[in-house]
Structure 1
Amino acid sequence: MVSREKIHKLLDLVLDIRDLGESVGDFPYVAIDFSNYGFPIYFRGSKGGFHDDYDYSDPIRNDRGADCAIEFAEDLFKIAKEKVGDAHGRA
């Protein structure tokens, strides 16, 4: 079982990345799926934009898996912020 607190943290990161921009070109791609069948929570992400070969693509089965997904999403968020800064002449 995964704690709601960790899933909320991951969801917040996914939404923060989404708010920074669309995954076009090399802007980070991130997705999270929820279901009540099979793997109830699934997280995917790519540092270099949307493509078929994700850098991270795993079901979240427990808090440890959520921690790994959160860590990767935090990296994606940093990359996204840098790309937005570069686009506006800021680093």
Structure 2
Amino acid sequence: MVRKYDENLVSRVTCDSSYIDKTNDTLEQRKKLKITLKNKKQEKTATIIMMNPSKADNDKSDKTVDAVVEFFGNLNSKSYYVSS
């Protein structure tokens, strides 16, 4: 099943990746997945470093990426939002 990004929260997704050639196998290595949220009230950036590679790319998401998008996408509407 292909998981799509939540169109209510996500405005743009870019995935920077490169291919590594190991003998006869070609492996894809993702370097950065950048997700721009729709409802951001302030210009802030969050960097999330994930240990396990995800299947997420420009077109499809996964459970872990969905959880991060939901957390930050709804952050402005939650009571635990702290203004700096």
Fold conserved (TM > 0.5)? no
Q: Which has the larger radius of gyration?
A: 2
By percentage of residues, which structure has more helix? Answer: 1
